[in-house]
Amino acid sequence: MPWRISSVMSQRHEFVLLAGQEKANVRQLCRQFGISSATAYKWLRRFQTEGVKGLQELSRRPNNSPTRTAKEIEKAVISQRHKHPAWGGRKLRARLLTLGHTQVPSPSTITSILGRHHLLTNEEVLKHKPWIRFVHPQPNDLWQMDFKGDFALGRGRCYPLTVLDDHSRFALGLVACANQRTETTRTALVSVFRRYGLPWRMAMDNGAPWGGYHHGRSRYTEFSVADSPGHSFCLSLVRIIPKPKARLNASIALWQSSSYAINSGAISQSANEHLNKGALSTI
């Protein structure tokens, strides 16, 4: 025999009928139905005065809400939203104030009003969700490098060069440079390479010294590590265009310029060994 499915309303009705019988033990019925004695006597009083209708759940809404937004303001919010479907709470509030409305609610309240009237679509909600941080799977997969502005010193200006690992977000380097020239940058990067090895790729913008234009053509700086004769392990700037009309970006890709291809892991290992031995040529 299957289990009997009953609603809350039917259980209340069953309880009051059992409790209304002669010599009924209300306390025992409370334990049986899993309710308190105060709840039991509340439903008994309602059943005695109103019958079965008294067993229905009453609205919990307060009789008076003094801080509730006026209906006229809600209508104005809805009207402006229809006129400007892309506007959110802040712009709608500013518009209502411009139109001369008083007691205009906060942007968050206006957003709640839009939600109650089903004026917030799922597409619009997704636009305001926090971004998921892009992280590379392994350390040294990608480094980010950039000059973070400049500021005046007593003897000139300082250009902070920052190098960041895109997996751990660890600051690999923060170097105070006197300028943004190629030789200065190379010298600063040597210490970072010696300490942490070579990355597979490096990402930066098109500013100096990473890139620029010379006689109408793109020009990039090249870094290389010397190896045995016939081999040259290079860090070469390459151009990346992720989307049409997007801003040009630059990244550094590790490559081997000999006539045969070898494992990329061997490139990194060999380059790092030469860095540790001090066999640097054009970095």
Residues 106 and 154 in one domain: no
Residues 156 and 246 in one domain: yes
Residue 265 lies in a domain: yes
For residue 151, what are the β-bridge partners?
158
Burial class (CB in 10 A: 0-12, 13-18, 19+), 138: exposed
Omega before 107 within 30 of 0, i.e. cis: no
- What is residue 13's DSSP assignment? H
Residue 63 lies in a domain: no
Q: Is the pTM of this model over 0.75?
A: no
Using alpha carbons, list the distances in angstroms from residue 177 to 20, 174, 181, 247, 251.
90, 9, 9, 27, 21
Which residues lie closer than 8 Å to 135 by C-beta, 6 or more apart? 166, 167
Residues 187 and 242 in one domain: yes
- What is residue 100's DSSP assignment? T
**Which of 86, 104, 127 corresponds to the end of one domain?**
127
Residue 135 lies in a domain: no
Residue 61 lies in a domain: no
Full pLDDT tens readout for the chain, 283 residues = 454 556 888 888 888 889 888 888 989 999 988 899 999 899 899 888 888 888 888 887 777 777 888 889 999 999 999 999 888 899 999 999 999 998 899 999 999 999 988 888 777 666 666 666 678 888 999 999 999 989 998 889 999 999 999 999 899 999 999 999 888 988 899 889 999 988 888 888 777 777 665 566 555 555 444 444 444 444 444 333 344 333 333 333 333 332 223 233 333 444 444 444 443 333 3
Residues 253 and 214 in one domain: yes
Residue 77 structural domain: 71-127
Residue 60 lies in a domain: no
